[in-house]
Amino acid sequence: MIEWIITMEALFCPMEFSYFTRKRDLEKLNGSFFDVVIVGGGIAGAGIASLLSSNKVKVLLVDKGDFASGTSSNSSKLIHGGLRYLAQGHLLLTRELLKERNYLVRNVDIVQPMKFDILIDVDSWGKKTLYMGLLLYNILGGKFRLPNFIKGKYSYDGYSGHFTYEDAATDDALLVVYNVATFVKLGGTAINYLEATRIKDTEKGVEITLKDKFDMGEYSVSGKIVLNATGPWVNEIYGSYTSERINNLQLTRGAHIIVRKDKLSLDNAVVFRSHLDGRQMFVIPRGEVVLIGTTDDFTERPDSLTVKNEEREYILNSARKIFPSLTSEDVVGEYVGIRPLYGKGSDPGRVTRDFYVDVTGRMVTVMGVKITNYRNAARKIARRLGRILNVDLKVDGLPLILYKREGDEIDSALRNECALTVDDVLKRRVGHFYFKTDQGRSTVEGIKKRIEDYFKTDVK
C-alpha cells in the first residue's frame, strides 16, 4: 500500500533538479532546520535519503563533490552475491546480497543480468569445490541450477576449464543519481558541491557548516541528527565532531584498467584467480570496452585516486595469462576506488564486506555499504534513525526508484539530475568515461556547448 501511494504521488509530480534549483535551494538554506542532515551523496547516503523522504522525514543531503563522485562511481559495477564471500563462509551476507541482486534485476532497468565464466584453476580452485560452491550460490540466489563444466574455451593451461553462472551489472554512479533524483522527487533537498566543514552540538541538535565549492559561500544549517555517510572520509567528519577516530575503519585501494573490447572478443564476463597471488579478478565487458580488476591494498589516503604503475602492471600481468595478446597499448583508461571497510585483520581481502553503523552523540556513521546491498543497509539504518528520532518509519519494500529518464540523456542530466560540469556528465550521468573507447573525449566540446546553452553562463 505504502509503495502504491508513493508511486502515484511521484508519478504526478513534475521535477526539475538542476543548476537553477540548486541556486534556489542555496538561497534559502541558511538557518534551515532538518530532521536529518546526510553528509555524503554516495550509494549509502542516497539510498537512506530516498527511504527517509518516502516517510516524510525532512532531510538535507549534501556532497562535497558531485553525487557518486567518491567510491560509488569507481567500483567494479557488479550487483552480486560475492562468490568470494561465500568461500570465506559468509553465508548470511551472500544470501542477503543475492536477494537484493534479484530485486534490483527485476525492478531497476539499469541493473542487468550478466553471465560469468569462472575459470577452474588447477592449483587452487578444485573443480569439485567450485561445483559445490556454485550450486550453493545458485540455491541461495533462489534457483536450483547445476553448474555446467566446459573445457577449452580459454587458452591458459593452468586452468582446466570453466563453469558459467549468472550475476548482474549496473552503472553504479547512475544508480546513485537515480536514488538522489527519487529523493528530490519526494520532496528532499539535495545539493552537490557543498562540503560539510564543521559539525557541533547545540541545545536543539547539531549545527553543520557547509561550504559551496564553486563560490566558497558559507552556510549554516541545523538538524536533529547528522548522518555521516562519507565513505572513505568518515573519519574526517567523525573527527571534526568528536575529536576522535573510528579505529576499525580500514581503507583499501581497488584499481581497474579499461581496455578495448575488440582485443578480447568476450561473450561473457570472466572470473579467475591471478597466478601472481591467487586474488580473484574480474574481466567485465561493458559497452565498447572491458573493465579488468581489481587490486586490494591498504591505504591511509582517501583522496589518492591515481592508478599506480605497480597496480596497472599487476592487473595486466594477471590478465595476460588468459589473454596473452593483451598489451599496455590496449589500455584506454583506468580508475581507482577506495573501499571504506569496517573490520580488523592484516589481509585486506579478508576484512568483512558487511556494513557497520556507529552512533556517537547526534552523529550516526555508516561504513561499508556495498552498491548491491544499499537498500538493505538503508532499511537497517532507518530503523536506527527512527528509534533516535522517536518516529515509526515504514521501511518494508523501500527504498524504491521513482525516477525515470525521458528523452535525451544529456538533457535529463542537466534538467533532472543536477549535472553541473562536463565531468559530471561524462563520468556520472552518461558513463562515457567508463564505457567508451575514447572515454567521451570526442563529446567534450558538444557537452560543454549544451551546458553553456542551458546555464547561459561559463562552464565550470
- Shortest approach of ligand FAD to residue 430 CB, angstroms? 18
Rounded-to-integer distance, Cα 73 and Cα 319, Å: 23
- Shortest approach of ligand FAD to residue 1 CB, angstroms? 30
Is 333 a binding residue for ligand FAD by CB under 6 A? The answer is: no
Total site size for ligand FAD, rule CB under 6 A: 38
Task: Measure Cα distances from 293 to 90, 259, 274, 280 in Å.
Answer: 22, 11, 10, 9
Q: Which residues pair with 212 in a beta bridge?
A: 194
Is 372 a binding residue for ligand FAD by CB under 6 A? The answer is: yes
- Shortest approach of ligand FAD to residue 192 CB, angstroms? 9
Closest alpha carbon to 428 in 407, 413, 408? 413
DSSP string for residues in 312-367:
HHHHHHHHHTTSTT--GGGEEEEEEEEEEEE---S-GGGS--S-EEEEETTEEEEE
SS3 277: coil
Which residues, including other chains, have CB under 8 Å from residue 292's CB and lie 6 or more apart?
256, 257, 258, 259, 281, 282, 283, 284, 315, 319
- Shortest approach of ligand FAD to residue 406 CB, angstroms? 26
Is 50 a binding residue for ligand FAD by CB under 6 A? The answer is: no
Task: Measure Cα distances from 393 to 66, 101, 264 in Å.
Answer: 29, 24, 49
Contact range with ligand FAD by CB under 6 A, out of 42-50, 143-151, 198-206, 423-431: 42-50
Is 147 a binding residue for ligand FAD by CB under 6 A? The answer is: no
Closest alpha carbon to 278 in 173, 396, 123, 394? 123
Binding ligand FAD (rule: CB under 6 A), the pick from 281, 369, 414, 447 is 369
Binding mask 187-216 for ligand FAD (x = CB under 6 A): --------xx--------------------
Rounded-to-integer distance, Cα 397 and Cα 307, Å: 39
SS3 309: helix
Binding ligand FAD (rule: CB under 6 A), the pick from 371, 410, 413, 422 is 371
Residues of span 60-79 touching ligand FAD by CB under 6 A: 62-65, 69-72, 74-78
Is 294 a binding residue for ligand FAD by CB under 6 A? The answer is: yes
Is 340 a binding residue for ligand FAD by CB under 6 A? The answer is: yes
- Shortest approach of ligand FAD to residue 8 CB, angstroms? 29
Is 99 a binding residue for ligand FAD by CB under 6 A? The answer is: no
Binding ligand FAD (rule: CB under 6 A), the pick from 231, 348, 399, 431 is 231
Is 232 a binding residue for ligand FAD by CB under 6 A? The answer is: yes
Contact range with ligand FAD by CB under 6 A, out of 181-189, 198-206, 217-225, 366-374: 366-374
My answer on whether omega of the bond before 147 falls inside 30° of 0, hence cis, is: no
Residue with cell 579505529: 247
Is 41 a binding residue for ligand FAD by CB under 6 A? The answer is: yes
Phi-psi region of 361 (alpha: psi -120 to 50; beta: other; left: phi over 0): left
Nearer Cβ to ligand FAD (425/450) = 425
Per CB under 6 A, residues contacting ligand FAD are 39-45, 62-65, 69-72, 74-78, 195-196, 229-233, 237, 254, 294, 337-340, 369-372
